[in-house]
Structure 1
Amino acid sequence: MNEVKTNPAVKLVSAVLLAAVLLLFYILWSHSRNMSDWAIIFIFAFLVSLVFTKPNKFPALTLKKIVYSVAYIFYLFISIVKSNFDVARRVVKPQIPINPGIVRVKTRLKSPIGRMILANSITLTPGTLTVDVKDDYYYIHWIDVTDVDETAATEKIVSGFEKYLEVIFG
């Protein structure tokens, strides 16, 4: 194998930064105020980061990507809330017609992680579920298929997510 050699200092700094980010997520998620927990989490996160990270694989971090990432989180949250209300309304009022089916949509994303996040974002949004991915196409189960045309379905389901993910991941 022809593996690129990484400077040990770069690998160390990358592992420290990743461990710090993971610790921050832990603190935000658990609301922990125990400093000894923080120390243990940081040490283990650092060790795991040191063993499993490849600094040359990290995407370049720019202010634009950070801004788009924050905007994407808000967009995803709003999409999830709106979809929850739509599905709840359909449950409470059964006379609202549903037209379930599977539609094919096309993505412009080229990055594997961007594509994965897109598929997961679609699945997280109630009323849609990513069933399969083949090349540039996603097969989505949609609770109310309003348009079977690939272009129109792509516009309704995918394009809102893509405009952020394209900037973040390319």
Structure 2
Amino acid sequence: MSLRSRKQTVFKELHDAVSFSRLAPFSKLIVPVGLPFLSTSKASTFLHIKDEKPYHYGAVYAAALHSTDIPFRMEPVGPSADSGDVSVAMDVNSLIQMLAGLARQNMVAILDVSMPAPALTGKQGEQSLIGSLQSLKPDVAQDMEDLQTVESMTVHGAPGSDISVKH
């Protein structure tokens, strides 16, 4: 590794550390995103992405963030609603409290995507939805298991759903 490359790496790591330390007092939860080479990551298996085009990155991140905020735009269900729909609508604070782990008070969460998601037909041999998820932040261990993990998953275009979304 060249001296210039090492300096850039140290500068980037220092920038991230200072940014997190300055943001932390104002944040309940931080979700960092950013891949240096999105076109070669697992996240772009089915996407044609050119690393030199920043709007490609923007489109992927925008789609991920749009999916994340769908529960905030869901119409609340009433007491007579089908129990399968009860957990879909929530506000931002509820999601942050859930992802922060309440007792653990996690400060950082990971944003994973699967674009496009595999078919949800349940056939053997097909890739599972969970198995297709890829973090949008480098240096995230994929083979680690956290027994106290909490997650929120949003699936677009679920067949047979009659759930209303506010626009």
Identify the TM-score tier after normalising by the shorter chain.
Answer: 0.3 to 0.5
Select the structure that is richer in strand: 1
Select the structure that is richer in helix: 1
